[in-house]
Structure 1
Amino acid sequence: MKLTAALFGNTYSFKDLKEVMAKANEEKSGDQLAGIAAADAKERMAAKLVLSDLTLADIRNHPLIPPETDEVSRVIEEAVNEKIYAEIRNWTVAELREHLLRQDTHNEEIRRISRGLTSEMVAAVTKLMSNLDLVQAAAKIEVTTHCNITIGQRGVLAGRAQPNHPTDSIRGMKASLFEALSYGIGDAVLGINPVIDSAESVKAMLIATKEEMEKWRIPTQNCVLAHIKTQMRAIRQGAPADLVFQSLAGTQDGNTAFGIDVKLLDEADDMIRREGTGTGPNLWYFETGQGSELSSEAHHGVDQVTLESRCYGLAKKYKPFIVNTVVGFIGPEYLYDSKQVIRAGLEDHFMGKLQQVPMGVDVCYTNHMKADQNDMDNLAVLLAAAGVNYIIGVPMADDCMLNYQSTSYHDIATLRETMRLRPAPAFEKWLEMMGIMENGRLTPIAGDPSIFM
């Protein structure tokens, strides 16, 4: 591999692929915190030049985290279609980028090529793309999944109803849920983040959401975002779970910090298929987000974009119904300001979609970050243009339990109206039956949760 580049009268040399990948990244405070970022824009450009001329075989033959020591690397390696990889192994990263952006490269061709890529190759091409490139390429990719209903179709923007409550009050949760439904939000999932990580609390919330689904005949799926072990205990106790949830990291050590490994995920996968209430075949909900591996000192000197891509390589193994990156949740330690959050949201969405993962994004930020709601509006519009499968809805865009800022129920409704997008087809039929939507537009009763009381 050639790891040097001449630029502006200077020669830049990089010791290995790991350094090239890190320094080719767009500016991220997390990479700077880890001490692996480019020193300045010139060095970043030199790293991009080196990376653009490397072949896909170069990347595969020089693993950043060896499969012998990391089970996430093994999962990614084992998923490669060797016949397709052999056809493209001599492409440079620049040639892969050009192919993805060609007008005549469509969804089915991208789907086929993706089977010959590793997560590191996906991360590499992402580093060579502008924000608009990431929107254009992702917009070509359609990833549909089915639990109780189907989402991900072109022209569909689904929404997760996130009716969290600071004390896990069932009444409080339902009040928020009814507001979400009244705005036409909830087709991706009725997904609650619990305060109390106990099987009893998880079971109570799953029963409560399932009762409302059955009472109002709502075509959707439920999930409580506790630790996977807690959900498994609740399911063994008879809790009606359509989906199971888990946060993922891009390294084995990062997942150990989350209290999980591939063996546990395999066990949970078997359980939800045997004992879950979702019709399937897609029965998982995963969340990710750039920087989690750095938090647990489990990054192995690898940049946060590449590690995030590896999360999707792991998620793909379980054929999930939905995945989302909680893009600005960790804070300025990893994404300093709105510019970095917007870039990360577009990167994550593209990398997941290119790996045939059904991507959503929690368009969010924490209050100690240099960002505001207008920045999130901008990112939400970009993601809607890029064909994001779903985004998150919380009351007034302010999560009263997790204490961060996201997108509101009416933000999702506004994006649908502005971008000419629709809810999931089965969910839209239900909204029409309830009088909340007509001909793809909300009716005057929309936004009134009392219709469910």
Structure 2
Amino acid sequence: MYQATLSRRSYRFNDLRQLLAKASPARSGDYLAEVAAESAEERMAARIALAEVPLKTFLQQLLVPYEKDEVTRLIIDSHDAVAFAPISHLTVGDFRDWLLSEQADSAMLAQVAAGITPEMAAAVSKLMRNQDLILVAKKCRVVTRFRNTLGLPGRISVRLQPNHPTDSLQGIAASMLDGLLYGSGDAVVGINPASDSLPLLEKLNYMLDDVIQRFAIPTQSCVLTHVTNTLRLMERGAPVDLVFQSIAGTEAANSGFGINLALLAEAQQAALSLNRGTLGNNVMYFETGQGSCLSANAHHGVDQQTCEARAYAVARHFSPLLINTVVGFIGPEYLYDGKQIIRAGLEDHFCGKLLGLPLGCDVCYTNHAEADQDDMDTLLTLLATAGLTFLIGVPGADDIMLNYQSTSFHDALYIRELLGLKHAPEFADWLVKMHITDELGRLRDTASNHPLLLALQGES
């Protein structure tokens, strides 16, 4: 039992699960799940009580039962007590103060990351203002490598997302080359296929690999199909760079995705055996998003933001090259408007970076949400200020296959110019070599005989 008194009224919270849910900023998904605070005053009372909870409590009082959930078992069994030691005496409120202090610099945050559980990260985020989430995330440094180096300070990368509603190879090639000519694609060239046809998926893999190899592009490709399809593609000898999978924060929700930890481990080992990385061996790519556990009725009464943080424990176990929250994709049932989407994006980025993950964000919304592109401009600017690892690049910011609004190649140009952010270093050198940018990273005029344009004509 936890309690706090506010305005001469005593508020009581039955357990840690309820306390976290009541302390969470308002969002439609938690109201839908009937776990949200009933008033702003109750929410503040929950935060007052949460601030006094020792961090050690999260190792003793488990939100989802150990014996019923492999994600819980992963969190507890892989907890690093040595990394936890420097902060083990703190309460959640003390932890917030420590994170904002000068003592918690980049080196110290990296040192304690393995000792922080997702529930600890989620808890402290609920006590933080947006500026706090930005400031702490900015101090976190997470660097990963496959064919280039991602996550270095002063840089931001872009996933080039050339989706097509019919998986047209010509349409995908056009969008891909368009993105490359705008300087996008250093995070990954990643396609969400409309089909699960294995022969088609194989063709997409070969096409991406052909372009990357033909032009010696220091980047990686990924066809974002189910992990079982990717395993079959690798068995057929397809040139697979990264293994993709959507993941969630409970075993039941992951079962709804058709996955478990053993399957992800099998896929990781298969990808590692291909030895396709030239600079590193981070071979996994994960996507997450607040509301996935609730939409699968697999949240165990845990608020959606804490469930999201638990998904990061799954990701962390497999040392991914990339992970991003698709923050507004599920819809207004879970994040109702621009304000809720912005807050969720900052929370996800903070929690992921605090746990040692190379977190990016698909800054996005669906057309039936109370949000617009101005909200996305705000979130993109805040996240990039906070050290976002990568964003998404879609032609015109309108994904015509997935039918949602994201960010464009032009948005990437905006944020680079605004904040002076550079590409991944190897990719930046390639852009100069290909006469796409100058030495300062500015776009150059593209001649009609540019080899990428000639390649596009060949694909057509």
Question: With structure 2 as the length reference, what TM-score do the two structures score?
Answer: 0.96
Cα deviation, 1:96-130, whole Å, max 9, x if unaligned, reads 11111113421110111222111111110111111
Cα deviation, 1:11-59, whole Å, max 9, x if unaligned, reads 1001111000000000010000000000010000000000001001122
Identical amino acids, percent of aligned pairs: 48
1:207 equivalent in structure 2? 206
Q: Deviation of residue 226 (structure 1)?
A: 0.3
Distance 1:355 1:451, change over 3 A: farther
2:97 equivalent in structure 1? 98
Any conservation in 2 of the 1:198–1:230 contact (CA below 8 Å)?
A: no
The amino acid across from 1:261 in the alignment is N
Any conservation in 2 of the 1:84–1:113 contact (CA below 8 Å)?
A: yes
Q: Note if 1:399 corresponds to 2:402.
A: no
CA distance in 2, matches of 1:88, 1:446: 53
Q: Give the match's secondary structure for 1:245.
A: strand
CA distance in 2, matches of 1:25, 1:229: 35
Q: Give the match's secondary structure for 2:50.
A: helix
CA distance in 1, matches of 2:426, 2:164: 28
CA distance in 1, matches of 2:60, 2:33: 25
Any conservation in 1 of the 2:147–2:220 contact (CA below 8 Å)?
A: yes
Written as runs of structure 1 = structure 2, the 5 A alignment for 1:107-118 is: 107-118=106-117
Cα deviation, 1:351-393, whole Å, max 9, x if unaligned, reads 0000101000000000000000111011000010000000000
CA distance in 1, matches of 2:447, 2:13: 56
Any conservation in 2 of the 1:182–1:447 contact (CA below 8 Å)?
A: no
CA distance in 2, matches of 1:86, 1:213: 45
Aligned residues: 452
Q: Note if 1:420 corresponds to 2:423.
A: no
Range with greater deviation from structure 2 (68-77 or 174-183) = 68-77
CA distance in 2, matches of 1:298, 1:92: 29
The amino acid across from 1:242 in the alignment is D
Distance 1:153 1:446, change over 3 A: farther
2:67 equivalent in structure 1? 68
Any conservation in 2 of the 1:241–1:276 contact (CA below 8 Å)?
A: no
Q: Note if 1:149 corresponds to 2:152.
A: no
Q: Give the match's secondary structure for 1:414.
A: helix
Q: Give the match's secondary structure for 1:439.
A: coil
Distance 1:44 1:451, change over 3 A: farther
Q: Note if 1:166 corresponds to 2:178.
A: no
The amino acid across from 2:168 in the alignment is S
1:372 equivalent in structure 2? 372
Any conservation in 2 of the 1:203–1:235 contact (CA below 8 Å)?
A: no
The amino acid across from 1:43 in the alignment is E
CA distance in 2, matches of 1:4, 1:396: 50
2:193 equivalent in structure 1? 194
Q: Deviation of residue 78 (structure 1)?
A: 1.9
Any conservation in 2 of the 1:34–1:294 contact (CA below 8 Å)?
A: yes
1:450 equivalent in structure 2? 453
Q: Give the match's secondary structure for 1:334.
A: coil
Range with greater deviation from structure 2 (83-92 or 99-108) = 83-92
The amino acid across from 1:246 in the alignment is Q
Q: Deviation of residue 442 (structure 1)?
A: 2.1
1:54 equivalent in structure 2? 53
Q: Note if 1:253 corresponds to 2:252.
A: yes
2:352 equivalent in structure 1? 352
The amino acid across from 1:330 in the alignment is I
CA distance in 1, matches of 2:171, 2:184: 17
Q: Which ranges in structure 2 are unaligned for 5 or more consecutive residues?
A: none
Written as runs of structure 1 = structure 2, the 5 A alignment for 1:212-291 is: 212-275=211-274, 277-279=276-278, 280-291=280-291
CA distance in 2, matches of 1:276, 1:86: 36
CA distance in 2, matches of 1:344, 1:407: 17
Q: Deviation of residue 413 (structure 1)?
A: 1.3
Q: Deviation of residue 85 (structure 1)?
A: 2.6
RMSD: 1.3
Q: Deviation of residue 77 (structure 1)?
A: 1.2
Question: With structure 1 as the length reference, what TM-score do the two structures score?
Answer: 0.98
The amino acid across from 1:8 in the alignment is S
CA distance in 1, matches of 2:62, 2:110: 23
Q: Deviation of residue 447 (structure 1)?
A: 11
